[in-house]
Structure 1
Amino acid sequence: MSNLNLFRIDDMPFRLKEEHDFEWLSNLGKVFCVFDEQDSGNICFGVEKDGIKKFVKYAGAKTIAFSGQTEDAIATLRKSVTLYQNINHPHLVTLLDHFETEKGYALVFEWFEGECLHSHWAFPPPQKYQHPDSPYYRFKKLPLESRLKSFECILEFHVHVEKMSYVAVDFYDGSILYDFNRHITKICDIDLYQKKPYTNTMGRLWGSSRFMSPEEFELGARIDSKTNVFNMGAIAFSLFGGELDRSFSKWDAGEALYKVAQKAVKKDRNLRYSTVEELYMDWVGLVG
């Protein structure tokens, strides 16, 4: 990337395809970190003012990894405000404010001292699995009890999503934040969650194929609670097993929970749990 595309705010460097006006950011505080490599069309900033940190998510700039239209990124981020407000939950990052700028749209969140379990720009595969500084690698090295508690938070959140009549779209390990000091899990990036009933109008939906059900690749398929059951099962195999290698030899959470996860990721949706709540009840019943 040419230096012509390298910019700075408060001495923090970041890259864009072209220059963009971020003067409005100064009202929110001093920028102490920038996340500029997301493929969503958003650029994100950590800002601090009067000792209080916040996370700013912005659409409107031409980011380096986004191949779509800037207008679409703005529309998606603007629509996500309703999602954060309606699905509000203790395990979801907290939306504080949102507003339009001259050339885009911004969401302001409470800062959470967590690390993204799939920081693909810093630790792309295979580093994600092997590098000792990778958040995913460090999470997998945590005691089983800590990982079970984290997954229970993820399930609890999606039981709530289900009860609020939404379906999770584009939920993957990059949507999971983990605070390694306080052992707290938070969910972020629910921007593409959809209100039920929802039908696959794209063929291949948004998301990471590692966690997607067969119907998320099928034009006209119903996307519902059984779809989310598959998603949760795939997440379980990532946190406790070999991710796409779903053999028992890679699993470290016991045979009973393995069977629960196996049922969740059945290709035949009729063989899965009917709801995330059913999956959750079986799972926590076995964890005790």
Structure 2
Amino acid sequence: MRYAQSLVLDGVSFQLKEHHDFKWLNDFGEVFCVFDRQDSGNISFGVQKGNVKRFIKYAGAQTINYAGDLKEAIKKLKNAKDVYKELEHPYLVKLVDHLELREGFVLVFEWFDGLNIQKNVELNSACQRFKKLPLELRLQSLSTIFEFHVHVEKNNYVAIDFYDGSILYDFKQNITKICDVDLYQVKPFYNQVGRLWGSSRFMSPEEFTIASEIDGRSNVFNMGAMAFALVGGALDRSYDTWEAGRELYQVAKKAVEKNRNNRYASVIDFYTEWKFYVEEYGTDPPQKV
């Protein structure tokens, strides 16, 4: 059993399973924050050099919550480089550089000054703040998410491991960005492991079923689950917890049908109908009856 070791970079402390040399980070500037608790095998840093901030994602260190093979984590991050390039979009955090090191691999992103809205039990969490925003702003955020995944679909990819932890929100400018598409896959893609990576709150039944194809209908489920997370009751998908009117509720409900054949055939079809009702009713949906 390996015990946690504390490290300090530019006054910021974090933990790993064993010591690791991060001298290469000096070229990017001063570290101002560290994200060391992911279970992906990556560790990430916020760094600043002059007026320029960057987000650095690195695979090659023995992180606290990763139980897998370090070589596999490095391989996945290398593969992610091409995903970010091929899915480049204004709503996706921008990859600006990559670096191969003797002990690992680095992706360098533009810094986006947003907070992760992953569900959190803390009352003052970004998730709680987001759920208190006016409906109009939350619907705008959903449109950003849906439009990006239309782009994903048009580029012959499927979303894997998409959940609320993949979303950043800038509360000052009310801007949404997608931040984690490392595991998105080129179609056709089949489930070869049983339970795929991700949060079960957003995963379609086929993402738990070996040999199932993960396709547009699977991503429709992901989008519907996200709609319930941001303007509804999350896993409580009853109309009583829904805030955005019956028409949008019916669209979201169809999206999360357990029987994939009862869902929309594609994210484009889903978003087309969703957008129709948003544009028809705006942020003043018909009252519940």
TM-score band by shorter chain is: over 0.9
C-alpha separation in 2, matches of 1:12 and 1:74:
24
Question: What is the aligned-residue RMSD (CA, Å)?
Answer: 1.1
Asked if 1:107 corresponds to 2:98, the answer is no
- State the SS of the aligned residue for 1:235: helix
Quote the residue 1:170 is aligned against. 161
State the identity %. 56
Question: Is the partner of 1:174 in helix, strand or coil?
Answer: helix
The TM-score with structure 2 as length reference comes to 0.95
Q: Which runs of 5+ in 1 are unaligned?
A: none
Q: Please identify runs of 4+ aligned residues in structure 1 that moved more than 3 A.
A: none
C-alpha change, 1:4 and 1:137, in structure 2 (3 Å) is: closer
1:189 shift after superposition:
1.0
Aligned residue in 1 for 2:69: 69
Q: 1:146 aligns with which of 137, 145, 156?
A: 137
Deviations 1:103-155 (A, max 9, x none): 1000000000000011x7xx4xx33xxx0x21111000000000000000000
Task: Tell me whether 1:253 sits opposite 2:253 in the alignment.
Answer: no
> 1:157 aligned to 2:143?
no
Quick one: distance in 1 between partners of 2:275 and 2:130?
20
How many Å separate the matches in 1 of 2:67 and 2:172?
36
The answer on whether the counterparts of 2:217 and 2:263 sit within 8 Å (CA) in structure 1 is yes
> Can you list the C-alpha shifts for 1:192-245, whole angstroms capped at 9, x where unaligned?
000001111011111110000010111110110000000000000000111111
**Residue 77 of structure 1: CA displacement?**
0.3
Aligned residues: 278
Q: Structure 1 residues 144, 18: CA separation in 2 closer, same or farther (over 3 Å shift)?
A: same
Which residue type is aligned with residue 91 of structure 2?
A: H
**Counterpart pick for 1:234 among 225, 229, 242:** 225
Which residue in 1 is equivalent to 2:284?
none
- Residue 3 of structure 1, CA deviation: 9.0
TM-score (normalizing by structure 1): 0.95
Once residues 50 and 204 of structure 1 are traced to their aligned partners in structure 2, the CA distance between those partners, rounded to angstroms, is: 44
Tell me how far apart the structure 2 counterparts of residues 34 and 212 of structure 1 sit (CA, whole Å): 28
How big is the shift at 1:101?
A: 1.3
> SS in structure 1 opposite 2:273?
helix
The superposition leaves residues 154-178 of structure 1 with CA deviations (integer Å, 9 ceiling, x where unpaired) of 0000000000000000000000000
Following superposition, the deviation at residue 287 of structure 1 comes to 0.6
1:1-288 equivalent positions in 2, closer than 5 A: 5-118=5-118, 123=120, 126-127=121-122, 131=123, 133-288=124-279
Distance across 1 between alignment mates of 2:221 and 2:4? 44
